[in-house]
Copies of this chain bind each other. A is one copy, B any other.
Amino acid sequence: MPNYGQFELIRRSSRSMARRGRIHTRHGSVETPVFMPVGTQGTVKALTPANLQEIGAEIILANTYHLYLRPGHELIRELGGLHGFMGWRRPILTDSGGFQIFSLGTLASIKEEGATFRSHLDGSAHFLSPEDAINVQKALNTDIMMCLDTCIPYPATWEETRRATELTGRWARRSLKVKKDNGQLLFGIVQGGMFPDLRRQAAEELVDAGFDGYALGGLSVGEPKPVMQDIIAETVPLLPQNLPIYVMGVGTPEDLVEGVYRGVDMFDCVMPTRNARNGMLFTSFGRSVIKNARFRNDPNPVDNQCTCYTCRNFSRAYLRHLYMSREILAYHLNTIHNVHYFVSLFREIQRAIDEDRFEDFRREFYSLRTEGT
C-alpha cells in the first residue's frame, strides 16, 4: 500500500519538462498532469457527483473561504467531512482562502498574525490565521490542503512583493506546525510575483521547510501570458522533482498545455464552469459562443470530436434555444461539455506523454485551433 502523498513519477518527456505522474491520497490516486474542476461551495456548479464521475474527473477543488462562511466547517465536519457532505468519493483539494480574502479588497487587511476580513455574504467580521486555515481544512477533511498565503496585486513593486512573499513563507512554516500526520497532504505556495529572484527565494525557503507538494500562486492575475509562462519555466526547476507541482487558478486550454510543457502536474480554474454558464463552449477547434445566430438551426453537436453526454445527444440549435430561453438545463449541459473538454484534454495529454509524443501533441493542438467564433 502506498504512503499517502507518495508521488510516483511515471515518465518524463524526452523533449520537454512534461511528465506523467500519480498522486496517492486517502481517497484514491490521481493521474497527472491533471485538471481539477472547481467546486466553490461544495458543488462543481451545475453538476452532480455522478456527472463528474461519468466525465472522468479524478479530483476536484473546493474553496475553504466559501465553506468556512457557509455552511461552516464545523457543520461539514459533523456531516462526515466534505466528501460525505457533498457525496464525492474521490480526492478533494482545498485552497486556503488566501485568494478569496485578497479579492475582498478593502474588506480585508493582512497582518503578521493573519487576515482580518468581512464576509461578502453578511458583512460579519472574521479573523483567519494560517493555523486557522489548516484547522478549517482539517474539519473539511480533504485530501490536499493549501497553506494560507498573501496574494500580491499586479502590478506590484519589488518591495511590496518581497514583504508579501516573506510573510507567506512565515505563514507556511506556521502551517506546517499544526499539520497532523493523518494522511492529509499539505502543499506550500510559492509567491514572488513577477520577480524571478523573489520566486527563487520563496521556493528555496518553502523547499527547506518541507511540504508534500508545491504550488505557484499569484499567476494569471493580469500579467502578459509570456511573463506567466516565463515565471513557471523558471520556478518549476527550483522545486523538488519527486513531488507534485501545481499552478493555481490557471487557465485557458493553451495555458494548460504550456504549463504541462514546463513541468506542471496540477491545475485548477473556474473557466470551464463559469464560461459554460455564459454560453461559451470549448472545442477541439477553438471556442464557440452558443448564442451565435448561425447556430439557430444547426443540427450538429457542439464538437463532433466530443463524446460527452451533451454532444452525444443534443444539437447546437437545441443548446442555443435552451440558452436563449435561460433554461437551467442550458447551464447543466454546457457545464458537462466544458468540464468534459478539460478533463479529456488532460487524458490526451497523459497518453501523449506516456507515448513520448507530447511535443507533437502540442503542435497538433495549436494547428487544429483555427475555427471558432
Residues of A in contact with B (beta carbons under 8 Å apart): 41-43, 45-50, 70-71, 75, 78-80, 85-87, 277, 296-297, 299, 309, 313-315, 317-318, 320-322, 324-325, 327-329, 331-333
Contacts and interface: CB of A to CB of B under 8 A. Distances in A.
A270 to B, nearest CB: 14
Copies in the complex: 2
A313 B194 CA distance: 45
B299 A79 contact: yes
A327 B47 CA distance: 10
A42 B80 CA distance: 39
A18 to B, nearest CB: 35
Given A41-B321, A70-B324, A87-B313, 9 more contacts: A43-B329, A45-B327, A45-B328, A48-B313, A71-B296, A71-B320, A78-B297, A79-B318, A87-B318
B70 A309 contact: no
A328 B327 contact: no
Nearest to A87: B313
Contacts of A87: 313-314, 318
A63 to B, nearest CB: 12
Contacts of A333: 48
Given A48-B309, A71-B296, A328-B328, A322 B43 contact: yes
Nearest to A49: B313
A290 to B, nearest CB: 13
Nearest to A322: B43
A46 B315 CA distance: 18
Contacts of A329: 43, 45-48
Contacts of A41: 321-322, 325, 327
Contacts of A297: 75, 78-79
A50 B309 contact: yes
Nearest to A336: B48
A235 B320 CA distance: 43
Contact of A321 (B71, B313, B318): B71
A318 B48 contact: no
A91 B324 CA distance: 25
A323 to B, nearest CB: 11
Contact of A318 (B42, B47, B296, B331): B42
Nearest to A324: B70
Given A48-B333, A85-B318, A317-B85, A325 B70 contact: yes
Contacts of A318: 42, 79, 85-87
A41 B78 CA distance: 41
Nearest to A66: B325
